Structure formats: C-alpha cells, structure tokens
Structure 1
C-alpha cells in the first residue's frame, strides 16, 4: 500500500515557484542568472506598516487570535470594501487567511462536491486548477486568446456553463497577462451569470491597485449588485503593499460561505499570524500616497519591457493594463534551431534555451494554460530588466532560420 494519497496524482507542483527556486539554485552555484519568475514586488514594505508590527510584538500581541481574523482587521477590511469598492459587508461576512491562496483554497474546499465544475479562463494563475482538483472539482478551461485581449468573452462563458457549474474564477488584473476588465466588460459577463443562478463568482482582485494609464478598477459585485450574495470578493495585502512574506489574504462574501471557510481553516492552519494581522490593519487604514509613486515605476518598467521585447526577433509583446507581468508570444521562434542544434518546439523549450544560453529565468506559457507564450514579471529593478531583455534579444538572435 502506498503511503501517498492517490489524489496527489491529480496535481503538480507550482511552476512559478519551481522557476524561482531554480534561479536561486543556479545563482547559489555561481551562475549569472536574472530571475523574472517571481510575482513579488522589489519594493520594501512601507515603514508605517513595519512599525505597527514591531509595536504589536512589543505590546505582547503574540497570542492566538480568532480563527479567521481579529476584530480590528475585519473592521479595517469592512471599511476598505466600503470606501474603495462600494461594497457593504459586516464583520461576519469577512474572512482572513494566510495569504490569498488560502482564502481561495478554503472556499473551494468548503463548497465543491465531487464532479462540481469550476470555469477558469485561460491563461490562468497556475494554482487555480490544482486547487479545484484537490477539492474534488473539475476545472473547465475557457481559452481567452490574445485577439480578445486575454479576456473572457460573454459568449464563451455562456457556452462553458453547465448544470454542474458551481464557480467562475475571475482574476483582474490578471496573473499572468496583466489584462484587466473594464466595467462594461464585467457587466457583459455578469449579465450572463444572472441567467444561471447556480453559478457563484470568485473574484481574485489581488492586483486591484496596480493599474496604469488611467484604468479604473471595478469588481463584479460592485458592477452587478444582484450578484452580491453569489460573490466571494478576494483580495490581500501582498502585492500593492509589498507584503508578500507577511501572508495575509482576505475576502468578503455570504455569511454561510464565510462560516464554512472558517470551519475549514479551523482544522488546517487556524489563525494567521497575529503580528501580520496588526501590520495589515496599518496597511488598510494608513496612507496610500506611496502607491502612485510605485505604480509610476511599474508603468515605466512595463513600457521598457514591452518595447524591448518587441525588438526581439520572433517575439510579440502586448501592453497590459495592470499587475506587473507581460505575456509575450514566442510563436515566431518555434521551429527554429539553437546554436546547439536543438529545435525550439514549445514555450517550455524556449524558456529552457534562454536560461541555459543567456541566464534569464521566466515561466513558460504552458504553465498558465495558453501557448505559445511566456510570463515575465517586471517587479524587479530597472537595471535588471534592461539587462534581461537585452539577453533575451541576444538569445533570439542566435536562433537560426528553422528546421
């Protein structure tokens, strides 16, 4: 009898974490590697947030808290949803977990029965399908091509819904593409959902504050109030506040769902760190003036990467509306040969070639469900991005003309 559970055969390790770890290992071994795989801002956590955590430690705020969040943090989240998103939640409609990933996982574990379907637009964040599979559900992928701006179209959503559909997971701005839905685009999708009362909406709004060129962020329950009782609005402090390591995610939703998610969490991790929760209160209630300055840096980096990669032979890089990723097409390098004679057959082969040839690590598009593309995170220094893009252009220039 095998020690390991058969359900583990359904899933794979996170490809983004694998690429990040590989880049670290190669650097430790002395290789000159630039890692562009991690979705992690290079900015530091603002001082007022760090000060709140230090104060919490010194004040002895180091004990267990309520399983799914302290009253202070829940009230801060209630205020955030009200002030920034026009959503009215009470404290018992709020849940706090150890990162946004746990929030999503709790919701799926609390709601999916064997065979329930979850609609996932592709490209998607790598963890969505595996979390659905672990919970016994069936991921239903809907291709969102570049011609559609990497966004889900209403007709395609309608076609994907069946009597077994329980959730739609919607991520805007998107990881991996940076694509963000306008209010009108969201309204077209919510109109479809109104016709299917069995379908609930899980919105991953983690990159809410990272939008550019005057884009206005909206979220489904805000756009269509009739979906309020069928929506779990998920967010966190990781990206906008540069708090990835603090591990705080949160959500607002229907009371029965929030209670069920707390039940799952009570038998897994229990409460998030008390110190991280105190820091998150400071993040959500404190000044946001740093966001504009950091977003301008991200915008400049986005424009740099888009321009530079579009100069690479065989690559086409669309300009995204938000987040800190680009999702370039590498279709133009497929079928070409490396200096070692290997034919580039896929985005995975291209990523492997670039890493070995010029020391730049990024994640292949197959990990996100739409090929032939690859994801680059520009949440790193401008100097590193300039160097990395120059190396990628060099690697593309070394490929010969084909088979």
Structure 2
C-alpha cells in the first residue's frame, strides 16, 4: 500500500542531523558534538510553576491562540527586548514549538508552484515543509558572503513565483547573523513587492557582541513580515514545545485556522511554564549566554591552533568548520572521524548541497566535553 501515500511525503527524508546522530549513537566511548540543544537544566522557578499549573488543574484546552496572559507576556517581552509592537489579542499566536509555527505559517501562505528563497547552507527543517505544500525551496549560495543572505543576493533570485523569503538568523548551522543595515536593505528590497518575509529568530537571545535587531522593527514591511520565536533555546525548554508567531492581525487569523486543525492549542501546562519564563525569568538566558560565549571563544582558540580557517560566530552555539577533501564527501569524512577518533560532528551536506565540505560542531556542551572532542579532532587532523 506504500504506493498510495502522498508522493510529497515519500520525496522528503528524515533530517540529516538526526540520521547522523542515530547512526553513531550506539558507538562506545563516543564524544558527540552534534545536537543543538542547551545543556543547561530548565531554571528551577519554571519547573516549579509547571508543577503548580498541574496542581491548579490547568490541564484542559486553552484558547486556540494560547492563554491571553502568555500572549500579553510575549507582547511585553518583545517590546522590552526588541522594540517590537504586537497586540496580544490579534497579532500573537502561541504554537507547539517554533517548528509548528513554521509549518502552520508555510501551510497558510503557500500554493502549488510557489517558491521560497532561503540561504544555503541552512537548517534542514525548512525545505521538507516547503515541499509538503507543493512549493519549491530556492537556495541562495551564501558561502562567499560569510553565510549572509543579503539583499544583493536575494534580488536576482526573485521571480513571479516567489511567495516568501526566509531569513533564519542567528543561523543554524553557521552562527552568523545579519546587521541592522543588512536587514533594512532587505526590507527596502521588499517594500514594493507582494512577498512575505519570514524571520526565524529562535536564537535571538543568544547573541554575544551586540543586541539582536529584529526585522519586525522595519515598519514599511511589517504587514508582510512574520516573526518566529520561542522559549526552547532562550530558557532551555526544548521539551516544553512552546513557540510563537508575531504577525499582522489579518494574517494571524488565517494561520490560527491551520494551527487549530493541526493541534487545537499548545500544551496548557507548558504555556504556564512559558508565562513564568517570560515574566520572572526574563534574564534567565544571560547566564547561559555567558557560558556559551566562553565555550565559543575556547573552541575558536583551539580551531585556530589546529590551523583551521574559521570565524567567530555572532550567536547560537555552532561552528561550521571547513574540512574538505578532494576525494571524500563531508559524510565520508564525518564517518571516518567517528571510526578513527570516536568523535561525532554533523556532515555539512545535512544543511543543503551548499554545506558540502564542512562539518557542524555544536558547542552546547560543557568545557570538559569540548576539550575532549577537540583533542580528538586535532589527532584526526594530524593523520588526515
């Protein structure tokens, strides 16, 4: 009966990150620097509020868009943090993680044959969702622009089929972000075009040398801009599955319909946990960010000592390491690294063809683990 299932589902694959993680998971004495998940426990006050929400019987369906107190907290949080103005009752939608936010948004705006422009290399979760809606992912090669999707690169890729441009910054897998000037240039490019701008800002709290500038501040395109964010990375709450969408009221009401039929509402107790995170835990990310900065700097020093030509990431917790071979793919090199040194890094090919020749290293691990992993990488390079 397999021939009877949806052809677009058959055409997509499990994420290359997860495939590789599962492939090496059973090896003994393995140091894995693969998964982009905070290694900090969820803050205690958030866990206590989750338990309290259960005891208070906050275990039923909520408003489809999320409890109003949480939407109000999100509104206040993004106003204080990023100078964004979104009305809690009409312009904010609470979702089951940022992943569902992206899925519901794309389902709402895409028609058969549409095109979505996005940078390459990029997180592998976008293209399958675009494909499932009968649309096409159009990658822009950003390897020569320091992995930045700029207005200059976007403009020649726009066609009559372009429905949306997706800018995921700070970036997974590269850790780079866009400056205020670069984002304003994209806004100017789209000012007179009927094209949506989707900004995945899930790593916005993990920027090191400067404050995050959200393209949602560009008022000239606010009516076509959709901001995706959540508490997974900022508050180490990946398992709580709370994300949110910020957008114009006319569009949110349509995304809400898709969200309603997909999931009804985000998990009730997780919503109360997120409420605690975005009110009494507004500064929880600072301790984690300081630790990630220390780890980032340590990894940079070690990579430079090894002779690897790299850069200092702006945010997130990833390095995209150039490690090419004339005869071997990034997957083959990653597997060789596993076999010889018991070190797992994600092959760059998992992030589109523009990631070939690179390996992604996640530094969302403690310093002892990073030291051990980098020592193994250095030994591998000696024999490479």
TM range (shorter): over 0.9
Q: Which residue of 2 aligns with 1:182?
A: 179
Q: How does 1:191-230 map to 2 (within 5 A)?
A: 191-195=188-192, 197-213=193-209, 215-222=210-217, 224-230=218-224
Per-residue CA deviation, residues 313-353 of structure 1 (Å, 9 max, x unaligned), is 6x32221111000111113xx03xxxxxxxx5111111111
SS in 2 for 1:226: helix
Give the whole-Å Cα distance in 2 for the aligned partners of 1:40 and 1:382: 15
1:246 to 234, 240, 256: 240
Cα distance in 1, alignment partners of residues 222 and 280 from structure 2: 27
The Cα offsets for residues 157-216 of structure 1, whole Å up to 9 and x where unpaired, read as 101111111111101111110001111111122111114x21111000000010112x12
CA distance in structure 2 between the aligned counterparts of 1:317 and 1:32, rounded to whole angstroms? 28
Instruction: Tell me, in whole angstroms, the C-alpha distance in 2 between the residues paired with 1:111 and 1:348.
Output: 34
Matched residue, 1:117 = 115
Contact 2:66 2:94 survives alignment (8 Å): yes
- State whether residues 164 and 198 of structure 2, in contact with CA within 8 Å, keep that contact through their aligned partners in structure 1: yes
Distance in 2, Cα, partners of 1:368 & 1:60: 42
The residue matched to 1:65 in structure 2 has which SS?
Answer: coil
Specify the SS of the correspondent of 1:63. coil
Aligned equivalents of 1:119, 1:97: Cα separation in 2: 24
- Equivalent position of 1:69 in the other structure: 66
The reply to whether residue 391 of structure 1 matches residue 379 of structure 2 is no
RMSD: 1.4
Unpaired runs of 5+ in structure 1? 336-343
* Gap regions ≥5 residues in structure 2: none
| Superposition deviation, residue 81 in structure 1 | 2.1
Match of 1:326 among 319, 328, 331: 319
Q: Secondary structure at the match of 1:232?
A: strand
Which residue is equivalent to 2:357? 372
The equivalent residue for 1:354 is 337
How far off is 1:49 after superposition? 0.9
Task: Tell me the CA shift for residue 19 of structure 1.
Answer: 2.6
TM-score normalised according to structure 2 size: 0.95
CA contact (8 A) 1:312 1:397 kept: no
- Count the aligned residue pairs: 380
Q: 2: distance between equivalents of 1:292 and 1:266?
A: 34
Name the SS for the 1:271 alignment partner.
coil
Structure-2 separation of matches of 1:200 and 1:155 = 17
SS at match of 1:233: strand
Once residues 291 and 138 of structure 1 are traced to their aligned partners in structure 2, the CA distance between those partners, rounded to angstroms, is 36
Q: Is the 8 A contact 1:236 1:248 kept in 2?
A: yes
**Residues 155/307 of structure 1: CA separation in 2 closer, same or farther (3 Å cut):** same
Choose which of 92, 102, 108 in structure 1 pairs with 2:100. 102
- The question of whether the paired residues in 2 share the 8 Å contact of 1:168 and 1:199 is answered with yes
Q: Secondary structure at the match of 1:376?
A: strand
| Contact 1:212/1:295 (8 A) holds in 2 | yes
- Worse overlay, 85-94 or 320-329: 85-94
Q: Distance in 2 between matches of 1:247 and 1:25?
A: 27
* Aligned counterparts of 2:283 and 2:194: Cα–Cα separation in 1: 41
- What TM-score comes out, normalization by structure 1 length? 0.91
CA contact (8 A) 2:228 2:246 kept: yes
Partner of 1:10: 11
Q: 2:29 aligns with which of 19, 24, 32?
A: 32
Q: Secondary structure at the match of 1:198?
A: coil
User: Which has the higher relative contact order, 1 or 2, with Cα contacts under 8 A spaced 6 or more apart?
Assistant: 2
Deviation, structure 1 residue 32 = 0.7
Instruction: Give the one of 79, 83, 97 matched to 2:80.
Output: 83
The answer to whether the 8 A contact 2:187-2:220 is kept is no
> Matches of 1:255 and 1:34 in 2, distance apart?
47
Is 1:234 aligned with 2:223? no
Q: What CA distance in whole angstroms lies between the structure 1 residues aligned with 2:159 and 2:350?
A: 26
Contact 1:107 1:257 in 2 (8 A): no
